[in-house]
Amino acid sequence: MSDTIIFSNDFDVSKYVLSDLDDVNHKVICESDLKYIKGKGTFAKITSLLSRTQYKKFDKIVVSFSIENIVTLDYIGVNFGKPIVWLWNPLSSMTVKNKFFFLQYIKKRNIEVWTFDRHDAVKYRFKFHNQIHSEKLISKELGGKGAFFSGVDKNRLPILMKIMSDLSCNNVETNFHIVRDRRKKYSPEFLDLTTDKYIDFKEYLKRANDCEVLVDVVQGSQGGFTLRVIEALFLNKKLITTDFRIKEYDFYHRNNVYVYGQEDRALSDFLEAPYQEVLSSLKERYTLTHFMNSVKPTFYT
């Protein structure tokens, strides 16, 4: 019988990562399966925040995996037990209203929150764990061809075009899948470089696995690195990133990572340097299994 129940959002990447867990000790329930939750708007959030209904006493570990809506969190707590919350997004990605509801709710219910964002961990006294991904991605293979990026524009198009140009000048084939921002007008030149269609997660992983270099352009003031970084680490890919803090991490090697706009070496030197394999023991620190092993001791204390 499972000793841990995990409630997850319905994104493909979440389902992929959570499939690492065995079915004997873990039960995963998707948010969409909780169809009896009625309404998640402002009124429902206020009701959840003001509710005095006691959480269910439960001897199992309950984890909320990347679920931020307090209506869902309240339902989980009342019906299954107080959840430990893993945030897969920084609080800066929430709207002002949702951020207010979330912070007030976790304070009232004394909920333990874990995050990969160092800024949020310090500012809000959340527990910190490194960014995580599926250990199924960990590969022993090396190689690939070209450079790959996939993501929504989010005003990153100018720097992405510059990176694309620099790679082309070094005879590196580029596969950049840039989704247009909604309500933003693009010139004909930019329309040719962008699309309004997403690729599914399976296709994304295939392209990431087939490339030699992954490209990562960070947004705003996020205090933790993106999943692209872990994908490069696990798949043994070189990484071009705009995140200068990458050099602070244990897996960093200058042959494997190029901090765009912050280097004293030419991009060509980086591309020509041989990839340096990273120890498996370091990669394991960024897996779901490592996170779950970190969470369990806090539940029993």
Contact 147, 240 (CB under 8 A): yes
pLDDT the model gives residue 191:
86
Lowest mean pLDDT among 37-41, 75-79, 138-142, 248-252: 37-41
pLDDT the model gives residue 205:
95
pLDDT the model gives residue 24:
78
Does the pLDDT of residue 300 top 70, yes or no?
no
Task: Identify the residue with better confidence: 301 or 17.
Answer: 17
pLDDT the model gives residue 27:
92
CATH 1.20.1300 fits 4-134+287-299, yes or no: no
Instruction: Please state, in angstroms and as integers, the Cα–Cα distance from residue 143 to each residue in 92, 261, 274, following that order.
Output: 36, 25, 10
Task: Identify the residue with better confidence: 40 or 13.
Answer: 13
What is the torsional sign of CA 250, 84, 58, 107? positive
Per-residue pLDDT tens over the stretch 198-254: 999 999 999 999 999 999 998 776 778 889 999 999 999 999 999 999 999 999 999
Q: What is the DSSP letter of 163?
A: H
- Considering the domain 143-276, what is its CATH architecture? 3-Layer(aba) Sandwich (3.40)
pLDDT the model gives residue 299:
57
Same fold: 4-134+287-299 with 143-276? yes
Which tokens in the block code for residue 62? 């309950």
Residue 266, CB-side half-sphere exposure with 13 Å CA sphere = 5
pLDDT the model gives residue 22:
83
Per-residue pLDDT tens over the stretch 90-138: 999 899 999 999 999 999 999 999 999 999 999 999 999 999 999 999 9
Sequence spans of domains, the chain: 4-134+287-299, 143-276
Does the pLDDT of residue 36 top 90, yes or no?
no
User: Which residue in 106, 20, 87 sits closest to 224, CA to CA?
Assistant: 87
